[in-house]
């Protein structure tokens, strides 16, 4: 399984943008980059995914490097409700299996 590398923790202030990095140097051409987050005492929640181009949705933006070896999840204005563990996952074609790493624990300060 292709691996991803994320910082263990990051801190942000409320109302400020947050950039969560992820390295995936062994990504293959058909791997989709998925981001999930897990709020305390809840199951993981889908955030966003992409293949090659940058993606935006109501929750976040995903910026993918041109060589696809890294990506960045962008929360445009962090709120206290965004405090969670964020997982960057490479999703292989032909498999439902999500391989979770340790993720990045995001703390949002008021």
Partner 1 sequence: KAGVTQTPRYLIKTRGQQVTLSCSPISGHRSVSWYQQTPGQGLQFLFEYFSETQRNKGNFPGRFSGRQFSNSRSEMNVSTLELGDSALYLCASSLEAAVSRDTQYFGPGTRLTVL
Footprint on this chain of partner 1 (rule: CB under 8 A): 30-32, 42-46, 49, 51, 87, 91-103
CB of 49: closest distance to partner 1 in angstroms? 7
Least distance in angstroms from the C-beta of 108 to partner 1: 22
Give the helix/strand (H/E) hosting 3.
none
For partner 1, the closer of residues 29 and 110 by Cβ is 29
Minimum Å gap between C-beta 12 and partner 1 is 23
How many Cβ atoms from other residues are within 10 Å of residue 100's Cβ? 13
SS3 call for 2: coil
Closer residue to partner 1, CB minimum distance, 14 or 38: 38
Q: DSSP string of 10-45?
A: EEEETTS-EEEEEE-TT--TTPEEEEEEE-TTS--E
* Closer residue to partner 1 (CB): 30 or 109: 30
- 17 vs 39 by CB, closer to partner 1: 39
Q: Which two tokens stand for residue 23?
A: 């390295």
């Amino acid at each position: 399984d292709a691996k991803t590398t994320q910082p263990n923790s990051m801190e942000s202030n409320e109302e400020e943008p947050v950039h969560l990095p992820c390295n995936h140097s062994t990504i293959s051409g058909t791997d989709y980059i998925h981001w999930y987050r897990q709020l305390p005492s809840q199951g993981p929640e889908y955030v966003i995914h992409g293949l090659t181009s940058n993606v935006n949705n109501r929750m976040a933006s995903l910026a993918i490097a041109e060589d696809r070896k890294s990506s960045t999840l962008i929360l445009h204005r962090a709120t206290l409700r965004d405090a969670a563990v964020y997982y960057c996952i490479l999703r292989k074609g032909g498999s439902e299996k999500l391989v979770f790493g340790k993720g990045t624990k995001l703390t949002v300060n008021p």
